[in-house]
Structure 1
Amino acid sequence: MANPANWTIHIGLVVRQCATLLGARALFEQGGRTDAVIRFPEQTLSYVEWEWKRAHTDINEFEKLLKRADDAVFQTFIGYTRVTELQMALERIHGVWEHADKPLLVFLVTYEWHGRSRYFQELKTYEFARGRYKHVRSQPALPWLVNRKTYNNVGEDA
């Protein structure tokens, strides 16, 4: 059963693993209470914020990341939105990030309500940069639903 505490811990572990794979370090609750910072010894790669509340609501994570935009190569947001509210979330993020000089990488987990529980559908990745945003990738949100053959055979632009 998904709840905010479990998913906060899970996301923290994923951020740490991503930093390790990049040869960087993940520091948590750093620099003005940013959820995480991914750093190399000589520079900050990304400030990372995540939020359990729906991405189009009154959360302030986008503004916090925007204030730090000049201090990192890019910024990262991980959040959640109902399937039916995805466009509202994208418009909300775009409204904040429209004039930013650095890119924002957004991971949105879409979900549907069943009773009192969220049922995760897809993990959607977007890049917000130069006044626009583009959809980069979609995959099932739950790893056991990912068809590995499909994603392992995707061509790489190396």
Structure 2
Amino acid sequence: MKRIERDFVTLFNCLWYQDFPVAEGDGAVGRANWTIHLGVVIRQCAKLMGAKALFEHGGRTDAVLKYPDGQILSNVEWEWIESHKDKVEELNKLRDQIAASDTPPAFSTFISYSTNSNLPAALEKAKELWAQCNKPLIFFVITFERKSGSRVFTELQTHFISKGKHKKLRTQPALPWMVNRKKFNNSSDEE
């Protein structure tokens, strides 16, 4: 894993909690608020890495993170629908953009949601689609449980897929008030 990828993962995981669109005790927050939150997090990551975030750019990609010299840091897609489902095509789009580009991004980024029961299928789909890709995929998955028809987020998981191999990099509470700071502050990378 390259430093640029590690830096992006670190920034995303930290910035996820900033300007969070829901507070403890609030009711369900709609899809639009989560989409806006993801856009803000992606824009902040790009800015801190010296790039800019261009939304709905380059073949209707959700975001392209691009440096001033034109080099692409990452093509980014996100999807509210659980990614294991056949109708979710964002991973195909990201993969095809790499194959079609003379100057592919340093890595691709996909952000999705999944119930814990569907997470293995979502990861398997990502691994299969990315098996022959020559650039890595950073896959952020927000897991949730259904409660009265709404999504109750549980974890933000970070996965890295490259050269046919998959590694889970990080798991953290999806909701800021669920962070056990004592445990979090004493955790090592090996856990």
Q: TM-score range by the shorter chain?
A: over 0.9
1:135 and 2:168 aligned:
yes
**Whole-angstrom CA distance in 1 between matches of 2:35 and 2:91:** 18
Mapping of 1:40-55 within 5 angstroms? Answer: 40-42=67-69, 43-55=71-83
1:38 and 2:65 aligned:
yes
Aligned residues: 156
Runs of 4+ in 1 over 2 A off after TM superposition: 147-156
Provide the residue aligned with 1:67 in structure 2: 96
**Whole-angstrom CA distance in 2 between matches of 1:24 and 1:153:** 32
TM-score for both structures, normalised by structure 2: 0.77
TM-score for both structures, normalised by structure 1: 0.93
- Comparing both structures, which one devotes a greater share of its residues to strand? 1
**Whole-angstrom CA distance in 1 between matches of 2:52 and 2:97:** 18
Out of 147, 154, 157, which is 2:180 matched to? 147
Two-structure CA RMSD over aligned residues (Å): 1.5
Q: Which runs of 5+ in 1 are unaligned?
A: none
Identity %: 49
**Whole-angstrom CA distance in 1 between matches of 2:128 and 2:162:** 12
1:85 and 2:141 aligned:
no
Provide the residue aligned with 1:97 in structure 2: 130
1:65 is matched by which residue type in structure 2?
A: L
Deviations 1:50-101 (A, max 9, x none): 0000010120000110012251000000000001111010011111111110
2:33 is matched by which residue type in structure 1?
A: N
